[in-house]
Chains A and B, each alone.
Chain A
Amino acid sequence: MKYLIRRLADSLLLLAALSVVSFVFAQLAPGDYFSELGTDPRFSTETVAALRAQAGLDRPLPVRYAKWVRSCIRGDLGYSLAYNSPVAPLLWQRIPATLLLTATATFLAWLLAVPIGIWNATVRGTWGDRVSQLIWAVLLTIPELVLAIVLLVLAAESGWFPAGGMRSAGFSAMDRWAQARDLAWHLALPAAVLVLGMLPVLVRHVRASMLDAIDSPFALSARAHGIPRGRLLFRHLLPAAMNPLVSLLGFSLGTLLSASLLVEVVMGWPGLGPLFLEAVAARDFALVLAVVMFSATFLVAANLAADLLLYRLDPRIRTE
């Protein structure tokens, strides 16, 4: 319990610090939403200045920060100048799609990585292991962008998978079961890109962690007591190897989120990615900040959950 409260307090402090940093950095980008208007000769400088004042962009930084924090607490995340709408609804509309993609990709990636990593560890040194290492190395060097484009081209050519989007036309007319299938069909390619991108890293870590456990004195001791191989691996060694992997889980969620924003843009998945890109291009300050803070909160929450899980799983951490 003490641990939970301490970690929670740490996380909140971190979020506060992140909000300040994000706010300041967003400001550092030259120009704002009205800069383009300023270059247009039809608008006089006074008009532009008046528009800025109206949007409150001319106030000093700390004042704007304080105002922003106050409104966030009330639930008002600001006003998007580019979309001419409050930020909050824009966000809530897009978040489910991103979460669906990220969660599915994480789940699948780990579901594959753990057994494959364990297998790699048990066949260390054989040709099976060497071929695997080669595959991971190749996968690791291919940028996600390239993977996405290749898969998209394949989809377009073969028609096996949709080349973008989240729903087919006539989605609302389908029954529940058909809707789920349709969603999965659309989810397949983006998730595949993310999984293939993350898999090499995860598998390598699982393999390394399992090897550490396999080579340890307590593994030899368990063998000396006649514990059969299968049980040894899953009941004795895997729990001992979990420690670094749980921390990696929290970390991988963060990486996956960043990668998913890119994949969404390329593959036309209607999540936060395309929204964010537009906001940055238009220098829509409020929207950029909102997306950044959402990502930050998500990351901090994920790592907090991973830390708590680790605390629960590894008894050695509990005696500090």
Chain B
Amino acid sequence: MPVACDPFLCVQGLGKTYAERRWWGGSRSGKTALEDVSFHLEKGRTLGLVGASGSGKSTLARALALFEPPTSGAIRIGGRNLWSLGGAERRRARAEVQLIFQEPAASLNPGFTAAQIVEEPLVIQRWGTRQARREKACGWLQMVGLPRQSAGKPALHFSGGERQRLAIARALILEPKLLLLDEAFSGLDLSIQAQIESLLAGLRSRLGLTCILISHDLRAVARLADEIAVMDSGRIVEHGATADLAARAQHPRTRELLEASLALSLDGTLS
């Protein structure tokens, strides 16, 4: 489907095939994780990316966050093709796309204090003076609902939900244009999950964030996303507004996911 590149985020024909290396140094193609993925997203909207394990969602997230180069296709934010940027430009571009991972215990350095974790992106981008960075980090701690006094506490003294808040603060301190959340809510207790979701919803509207939520859980995504894309075996098989998808799922994969998610909800609805 031809895609105009006016919208904020434009992904075209993205493909990723892992190469298997041979012992003499050559390579042959191995696993195909993404195949011809195309979609676009308007500024300020939230896209939910769902699919079973192995469908390619995390690979897509890593390509979007500039972690792993795709083998084909382009990712454009505001018209610029991210992967074709050179050194310094790309470093600045990394600041524009931030990724939050699933395991807050694993993605935060347990020895660092809360303030060190949150101000780290500022340090990397060489922003401001030490005072200014510390001030900004403390400000963000408050924005995510953590007390200012906890700035000096090492990360391992925080609970799972609190660590996820730190991860959010760290991700947003550079005011990125695009926020990616890769299974960021699974594994948290449901009450904590609800709190983090409302925190995110609040920040999103305040900062006008564009978000992509990646999950295998349709319900978690349905609550926050404006539109949903379903992935299967490296391709996007369905993409539409959340309400439409819930009511009239077309692709069998979507229906499978929908049924499974509904089966696991207490009240038989998606929200």
- Whether A and B touch directly in their complex, counting CB atoms under 8 A apart, is answered as yes
Residue A6 CB within 8 A of the other chain:
yes
Q: How far does the Cβ of A113 sit from chain B's closest Cβ, in whole Å?
A: 34
A5 to B22 Cα, complex, angstroms: 12
CB-defined contacts of A320 to chain B, threshold 8 Å? 21
Chain B residues within 8 Å of chain A by Cβ, number:
3
Across the interface, name the chain A residue whose C-beta is closest to B25.
Answer: A6
Q: Mark B23-39, 1 if CB is under 8 A from A, else 0.
A: 10000000000000000
Residue A294 CB within 8 A of the other chain:
no
Q: Mark B17-57, 1 if CB is under 8 A from A, else 0.
A: 00001110000000000000000000000000000000000
A113 to B23 Cα, complex, angstroms: 36
> Which residues between 1 and 35 of chain A lie within 8 Å of chain B, taking CB atoms?
2-3, 5-6
Q: Mark A307-320, 1 if CB is under 8 A from B, else 0.
A: 00000000000001
A3 to B23 Cα, complex, angstroms: 7
Across the interface, name the chain A residue whose C-beta is closest to B23.
Answer: A2
Chain A residues within 8 Å of chain B by Cβ, number:
5
Q: How far does the Cβ of A311 sit from chain B's closest Cβ, in whole Å?
A: 13
A320 to B23 Cα, complex, angstroms: 11
A5 to B23 Cα, complex, angstroms: 8
CB-defined contacts of A5 to chain B, threshold 8 Å? 23
Across the interface, name the chain A residue whose C-beta is closest to B20.
Answer: A320
Across the interface, name the chain B residue whose C-beta is closest to A1.
Answer: B23
A121 to B21 Cα, complex, angstroms: 40
A148 to B23 Cα, complex, angstroms: 47
Q: Mark B250-266, 1 if CB is under 8 A from A, else 0.
A: 00000000000000000
CB-defined contacts of A3 to chain B, threshold 8 Å? 23
Q: How far does the Cβ of B106 sit from chain A's closest Cβ, in whole Å?
A: 15
Q: How far does the Cβ of B19 sit from chain A's closest Cβ, in whole Å?
A: 12
Q: How far does the Cβ of A3 sit from chain B's closest Cβ, in whole Å?
A: 7
CB-defined contacts of B21 to chain A, threshold 8 Å? 320
Q: How far does the Cβ of A2 sit from chain B's closest Cβ, in whole Å?
A: 4
Q: How far does the Cβ of A10 sit from chain B's closest Cβ, in whole Å?
A: 11
CB-defined contacts of B22 to chain A, threshold 8 Å? 2
CB-defined contacts of A2 to chain B, threshold 8 Å? 22-23
A2 to B23 Cα, complex, angstroms: 6
A2 to B22 Cα, complex, angstroms: 8
Across the interface, name the chain B residue whose C-beta is closest to A320.
Answer: B21
Q: Mark A288-320, 1 if CB is under 8 A from B, else 0.
A: 000000000000000000000000000000001
CB-defined contacts of B23 to chain A, threshold 8 Å? 2-3, 5-6
Across the interface, name the chain A residue whose C-beta is closest to B22.
Answer: A2
A2 to B25 Cα, complex, angstroms: 11
Across the interface, name the chain B residue whose C-beta is closest to A7.
Answer: B23
CB-defined contacts of A6 to chain B, threshold 8 Å? 23
A5 to B25 Cα, complex, angstroms: 12
Across the interface, name the chain B residue whose C-beta is closest to A6.
Answer: B23
Q: How far does the Cβ of A74 sit from chain B's closest Cβ, in whole Å?
A: 30
A320 to B21 Cα, complex, angstroms: 9
6 interchain pairs (CB within 8 A)? A2-B22, A2-B23, A3-B23, A5-B23, A6-B23, A320-B21
On A, residues with C-beta under 8 Å from B are 2-3, 5-6, 320
**A-B CB proximity, top 6 nearest:** A2-B23, A6-B23, A5-B23, A3-B23, A2-B22, A320-B21
